[in-house]
Structure 1
Amino acid sequence: MELKNICDVPLRPIERQLLNAFQRDLPLVPRPYQAMADASGCSESEVLEALNRLHETGVLSRVGFIVRPNTAGASTLAAMAIPENELEAVAARVSARPEVNHNYEREHRLNLWFVVAAENAKTRQTTLREIERETGYAVLDLPLEAAYHIDLGFPLASDEELFQDRCKTPDPKARLTIRVTGQDRHVLSAVQDGLSLTLCPFAEPAARLGVTESELLRELRWLVTCGVIKRCGLIVRHHELGYRSNAMVVWNVPDHSVDQVGARLATLPFVTLCYRRPRRLPDWPFNLFCMIHGRDRNTVLEQVGAIRALPGLADIQHAVLFSRRRFKQRGATLCRTREAA
């Protein structure tokens, strides 16, 4: 799917209010849309109407859950260098894999970047090897080593200050080692595609699991508390929301200071993701990654300049990889449902 050159989707007041309030902290109750309505001063039917419209216009990807990387499954960022005349065909092959949830063309010699999320490390590595075999091109494997900030909530233009106050609080669970059980994985598999826009959206996944709504909600609350679920709420598509430009900015930071620099970058309001990944010398010298989303290319470049102006970063080797095309974007399928097993 190509990034469309579209204008911002015009938002009604209730839609803007819901997007600002519920990109995180979705009420984990049997009727969450009623709880959202109570908090927003409107009716449940108005909330459902607004969410349905946001979904139809492409702004809302789903109402659902973001799982902390490498807790309920095994994921990695991967890249390939593909000749321009073969890029679309190779991208289609990569996107066809169910383990691939994001797949983008970026401005770099390594021009195809995708995320593989699988049930376990063995399946992840098998997927990478099969992609290499099917396409005939090498895959650069860049697994997560440390996460400094992973959020991907997006403020709306006139509400950015309010939103940033909420999304930039330190995450005390960022460095914890979290173990999940088989039951946890079944629960996550039941909700991984998002919740329906119905009065009781937890009823259907609970029935598939053979548990009550109360039992499912209790398990989901526990997964939030222990940090397996990083965020639950309205999951939006950044481009349709008006963030037309995004870049992955990578840095070659000395190993002794990369954690300190990563923690500093994570506090910047325009950085939506920040993490450490391994170098792959001689082809890939970078170990610190951050994502910046902006209204346009110049805004993103100005924000990169603001990072470079920080003490000690002006002379650090870096590269700015703007997105060119979006071939695939969906939530990660980290777990198989019992029916699919």
Structure 2
Amino acid sequence: MPLLTDLDARILDDWQRHFPLVPEPFRAMAEALDVDQGVVLARLTQLRATGTMARVGATCRPNTVGASSLAAMAVPDWRVEEVAAIISAEPGVNHSYLRENDWNIWFVVTAPDLAERDAIVARIEAASGLEVLMLPLKRAFNIDLGFALGGPRHALSLDRPADLSVLEAGDRALLQALTDGLDLVARPYAALGARLGLSEAAVIERIETLTRARIITRLGVIVRHRALGWRSNAMVAWNLPDERIGAAGQALVRHPGVTLCYERARRPKWDYPLFCMIHARSRREAFEVLEGAAALPELAGASKQVLFSIRCFKQTGALLAGPGAASGLAAE
């Protein structure tokens, strides 16, 4: 794990959300940290270069301005490298992991629309000769992967629905740029506006509006947890009757150590619709969280699959917009 200074730790821990929406956000960070703005920008640049930080930017709610799905493949051991390369070659695949299960490669595919999403999956199936199991999101209990990197584990807050009525032409391009990451310059919103044909004030106003509407689920420092020592990470999928999933999802969100929770579509080959993530520094810690979760009354009698991640093949921002987005045009 890269060595972090106390300043690095504060930058990564304190600014995962609520990034300043002011013309000079890095100066605002620097004032709170009692250092110069140049120091903050230099540290962020170094953290990105060493892979402990992916970007300073946004995460967007799935299926608001694009179409996405979790997907899985059952890949023979001897073909894992080959198939992983096929999956990662698709720009629309933004996360891809090897996990401990017969369904062993799991990835997220995101595209500007359903047709392109399904075309990506079809290309992967054709190139690999293997089935892709699609598990689209049905309900989010918490989809904000931002949690304290030190101290005791805390419960999450419940998600609330997005207000799609606020979307305007051009928002897709703005969201794509924020997903790719802000420039590490003194006035990043002005730099972004210059690329999109918007004023700095307009960029800030749209980000505020999209955040209030829960289309932007988080704006801040996007860390790479595995690089920071969180390497015993388990995706846990639970099988419960549909009428119990709501209460179980809310209970998991309130359980310290659970870092994501959502419901996905049932499939004959994967009848485990309730998912949560546990990020931990050791398997012992992960199993302690899991044992507590399994003991919740709302999970009583639920069967489960525990899939520890073994390897990360790809982790990037989602593909929300087509080629026209760079000029500020909405890819509708």
TM > 0.5 fold call = yes
Structure 1 residue 169 and structure 2 residue 169: aligned?
no
Alignment partner, residue 43 of structure 2: 50
Alignment partner, residue 91 of structure 1: 84
Alignment partner, residue 213 of structure 2: 226
Find 1:141's aligned residue among 128, 134, 139: 134
**Would the aligned equivalents of 2:142 and 2:157 in 1 still touch at CA under 8 Å?**
no
Unaligned runs of 5+ in 2: none
Instruction: Output the CA distance in 2 between the equivalents of 1:44 and 1:299.
Output: 37
Find 1:289's aligned residue among 275, 278, 283: 275
Instruction: Output the CA distance in 2 between the equivalents of 1:122 and 1:52.
Output: 37
**Would the aligned equivalents of 1:275 and 1:289 in 2 still touch at CA under 8 Å?**
yes
Structure 1 residue 74 and structure 2 residue 67: aligned?
yes
**Would the aligned equivalents of 2:59 and 2:218 in 1 still touch at CA under 8 Å?**
yes
Describe how 1:98-247 pairs up with structure 2 within 5 A: 98-157=91-150, 159-160=151-152, 164=154, 168-171=156-159, 174-176=160-162, 178-179=164-165, 180-247=167-234
**Would the aligned equivalents of 2:251 and 2:298 in 1 still touch at CA under 8 Å?**
no
Instruction: Output the CA distance in 1 between the equivalents of 2:256 and 2:144.
Output: 11
Instruction: Output the CA distance in 1 between the equivalents of 2:161 and 2:174.
Output: 23
**Would the aligned equivalents of 2:248 and 2:298 in 1 still touch at CA under 8 Å?**
no
Instruction: Output the CA distance in 2 between the equivalents of 1:151 and 1:224.
Output: 12
**Would the aligned equivalents of 1:154 and 1:238 in 2 still touch at CA under 8 Å?**
no
Instruction: Output the CA distance in 2 between the equivalents of 1:175 and 1:199.
Output: 33
Find 2:7's aligned residue among 14, 17, 38: 14
Alignment partner, residue 318 of structure 2: 332
Unaligned runs of 5+ in 1: 1-7
Report the residue type matching 1:233 in the other structure. Answer: G
Which range moves more in the overlay, 187-196 or 103-112? Answer: 187-196
Number of aligned residues: 326
Look up the SS of the partner of 1:145 in the other structure: strand
Find 1:248's aligned residue among 215, 220, 235: 235
Which range moves more in the overlay, 68-77 or 49-58? Answer: 49-58
Q: Map Cα deviations across residues 225-265 of structure 1 (whole Å, 9 max, x no partner).
A: 11110000000000111101101100001111101100110
Give the TM-score taking structure 2 as reference length.
0.94
Look up the SS of the partner of 1:207 in the other structure: helix
Which range moves more in the overlay, 229-238 or 145-154? Answer: 145-154
Look up the SS of the partner of 1:202 in the other structure: helix
Change (3 A) 1:201 1:176: closer
**Would the aligned equivalents of 1:245 and 1:295 in 2 still touch at CA under 8 Å?**
yes
How big is the shift at 1:270? 1.0
Report the residue type matching 1:285 in the other structure. Answer: D
Identity %: 44
Report the residue type matching 2:137 in the other structure. Answer: L
Find 2:307's aligned residue among 321, 330, 333: 321
Alignment partner, residue 255 of structure 2: 268
How big is the shift at 1:313? 2.6
User: Structure 1 stretches (4+) deviating beyond 3 angstroms?
Assistant: none
Instruction: Output the CA distance in 2 between the equivalents of 1:169 and 1:149.
Output: 7
**Would the aligned equivalents of 2:234 and 2:308 in 1 still touch at CA under 8 Å?**
yes
Look up the SS of the partner of 1:273 in the other structure: strand
Report the residue type matching 1:192 in the other structure. Answer: T
**Would the aligned equivalents of 1:26 and 1:232 in 2 still touch at CA under 8 Å?**
yes
Structure 1 residue 300 and structure 2 residue 293: aligned?
no
Instruction: Output the CA distance in 2 between the equivalents of 1:250 and 1:142.
Output: 12
CA-based RMSD: 1.7
